[in-house]
Amino acid sequence: MNIDHEMTKTIIEWFEKVNEIPRCSKNEKAICEWLAKWAEENGFSAKTDKVENLLIEVPASPGYENSPVVVLQGHMDMVCEKTKGSNHDFEKDPIPVRLDDGWLKAESTTLGADNGIAIAMALALALDKNTPHPPLEFLFTVDEETGLTGATALESDFLKGRILLNIDSEDEGVFTVGCAGGKDASVTIPFNPVTTPDGYKSFKIIAGGMSGGHSGVDIHEQRANAIKILTRTLHTLMSKGDLRLASIEGGSAHNAIPRDAEAVVFMPAAAADLAKQLVDKLSGVLAAEHAKTDPNLSLMMVAAAGENQVLTTEETRRVIDFLLAYPHGVAFMSNDIEGLVETSDNLATVKTGASKIEILSSQRSSNMDKLNFLTDQIAGLARLAGAEVEIGDGYPAWKPNMDSKLLVKCKEVFMGMFGKEPIVEIIHAGLECGIIGAKYDGMDMISIGPTIKNPHSPDEMIDVESIGKFWDFLAALLKSIK
């Protein structure tokens, strides 16, 4: 790679090593063991807790022995998304990295910069003899992407430091000082399968090619939700005649906007031509509606080999109505901060099991009362549909501290380096800072990082130039903490 900034080269080399190790959420054992071995080989002490969060201690540089301990924090897991035609196996295949016009990208999969770049930064820092720093603790948590469960399991004596730099933000030059809290809702709709009526043929309705993205960072962009697109199509078909649902599948993760969804349906053979016309017409309508947000959106109806078991007409109608009514997108904008999404929902996944359809959604809000209100709405809707609902414990919002000494220090260093004020913001995504801050009294925190676009999707990429700029800022910040 033709890169001038020497530390950027080093960081990318470490990132490529990290990307050789499978690390989907709940599968962090290999990366944890690799990092612990790296620590041992380089003379650093390391320990894990009961859920395999990892802490590596790096001694202070000469002259910084009495400086306060600084925690650099990131997570070991990643969202494992791939395009429909990709053969990538996240359980064993490395993720190759390529340079494309100033951006690091993967090929048809998520890149893993969220949050592998934090690990790479930490390893480069620990071995760099030219960057003076205070005593460091590298905290690498597990299972951040599926509910921040690693941070939730942290015990109050695991860390010594009370200054925390969370390297999980995605805009260089932006300091994040607050974030949304969140809860998941799991809904189960039971059904009694019946034999397909005589004279009915099976078809597959496929909605795909949508942009997807991060359900917090990108929710305001009104990108198409594949489950909603599919539901709208099924509703259109059912309004013109009988339709029996055999299965419905869509989405992949609670924090990713669904890009693909499909359903196997049965309908009278005589209705197939009209149905195909309706799907083709709706495809054009939807493509026009989402031309800017989802230019590759596709919708099609093809013949399929279906099982001989379907839902009844009434149960099919109940499932479609429920998914039609299910909230998705921005629910409330903040009244205090212009342009900030306060509360939202991501209709994340739907899948068909034995005599049941399972639906998962993820709610976010910086206002915990509004978060509970939206979640209660979903639970009420589920009860009306005769469904079972389970609400997760969730995680708290991170309330900003605009008088933070760390924030003041960061702004001073940034101004001195770049001659301009940094952007200070609160985000709608979830960060581990809120949970960690609740466990450690007096923890002064900020979230920072290089620029990453389209996280949680196969279009994820990281700006190479921003890696070097972020490194220079981080090095100067650590040098100033004495």
Domain CATH number, residue 28: 3.40.630.10
In this structure, the answer to whether residues 187 and 176 fall within a common structural domain is no
Is residue 217 included in any domain, yes or no? yes
- pLDDT tens per residue, range 156-179: 999 999 999 999 999 999 999 999
- How do beta strands 136-141 and 70-75 pair? parallel
Of the residues 391, 420, 453, the one at which a domain ends: 391
Q: Are residues 253 and 347 in the same domain?
A: yes
328 shares a domain with 459:
no
CA distance linking residue 324 with residue 56, whole number of Å:
48
Domain's final residue, options 369, 391, 413: 391
Q: Which 3 state secondary structure label does DSSP give 310?
A: strand
**319 in the same domain as 275:** yes
364 and 426 share one domain: no
Asked if 437 contacts 446 with a C-beta cutoff of 8 angstroms, the reply is: no
The verdict on residue 1 lying in a domain is no
% pLDDT > 70, the chain = 99
Active-site pick, 28, 77, 170, 294: 77
Domain contains 200: yes
Domain harbouring 275, CATH code: 3.30.70.360
Question: Does 77 qualify as catalytic in the annotation?
Answer: yes
The answer on pLDDT for 146 being more than 90 is: no
Query: Structural domain tally of the chain?
Result: 2
Residue 182: predicted pLDDT: 93
pLDDT band for position 2 (50/70/90)? low
Burial of residue 327 (number of CB atoms within 10 Å: 0-12, 13-18, 19+) = middle
**Do both 195 and 326 map to the same domain?**
yes
Confidence of residue 1 (pLDDT cuts 50, 70, 90): low
pLDDT beyond 70 at 408: yes
Which of 391, 423, 452 finishes a domain?
391
- At 430, is the pLDDT very low, low, confident or very high (cuts 50, 70, 90)? confident
Q: Among 114, 137, 144, 172, which one carries the catalytic annotation?
A: 144
Question: Do residues 196 and 394 make contact, with C-beta atoms less than 8 angstroms apart?
Answer: no
Query: Are 213 and 351 contained in the same domain?
Result: yes
CA distances from 392 to 182, 184, 365, 433 (A): 9, 5, 15, 19
Encode pLDDT of 20-61 as tens digits.
999 999 999 999 999 999 999 999 999 999 999 999 999 999
The string of DSSP codes covering 170-216 is -STTEEEEEE-EEEEEEEEEE---EEPPTTEEEEEEEEE-----BTT
The whole-angstrom distance between residue 218's C-alpha and the CA centroid of its chain comes to: 10
Query: How crowded is residue 437: how many other Cβ atoms within 10 Å of its Cβ?
Result: 18
- The answer to whether residue 313 is domain-embedded is yes
Residues 167 and 216 in one domain: no
The arithmetic mean of pLDDT across residues 185-201, rounded, is 96
What is the residue range of 330's domain?
183-391
Average pLDDT rounded to a whole number, residues 284-313: 94
Question: pLDDT averaged over the chain?
Answer: 96
182-201: average pLDDT:
95
175 and 187 fall within a common domain: no
So what's the pLDDT on residue 147?
Answer: 81
- Is the pLDDT score of 311 beyond 60? yes
Q: Which tens digits make up the pLDDT trace of 223-277?
A: 999 999 999 999 999 999 999 999 999 999 999 999 999 999 999 999 999 999 9
In a domain, 223, yes or no: yes
- 147 within domain boundaries: yes
Scanning the structure block, which residue is given the tokens 């998962």?
360
Q: At what angle do helices 405-418 and 464-480 cross, to 10 degrees?
A: 120
pTM above 0.75, yes or no: yes
171 plus 187 within the same structural domain: no
173 lies in the same domain as 198: no
- In this prediction, residue 4 carries a pLDDT of 87
Stretch 383-409: mean pLDDT:
94
Determine the pLDDT at residue 85.
87
**pLDDT category, 307, cuts 50, 70, 90?**
confident
Whether 306 has a pLDDT exceeding 80, the answer reads no
**Res 97 pLDDT > 90:** yes
- 356 and 311 within one domain: yes
β 388-391/181-190 pair status: antiparallel
Q: Is residue 137 in a domain?
A: yes
Reported as a single tens digit per residue, the pLDDT across 328-357 is: 999 999 998 889 999 999 999 999 999 999
- If one compares 146 and 133, the residue with the highest pLDDT of the two is 133
Q: Token pair 């690693």 is at which residue? A: 150
Confidence at residue 84, expressed as pLDDT on a 0 to 100 scale: 84
The alpha-helical segments, DSSP class H, found in 242-297 are: 272-289
Q: 441 catalytic, yes or no?
A: no
Select from 381, 355, 356, 376 the least CA-distant residue to 365. Answer: 376
**Do residues 259 and 459 make contact, with C-beta atoms less than 8 angstroms apart?**
no
**Is residue 231, in this structure, part of any structural domain at all?**
yes
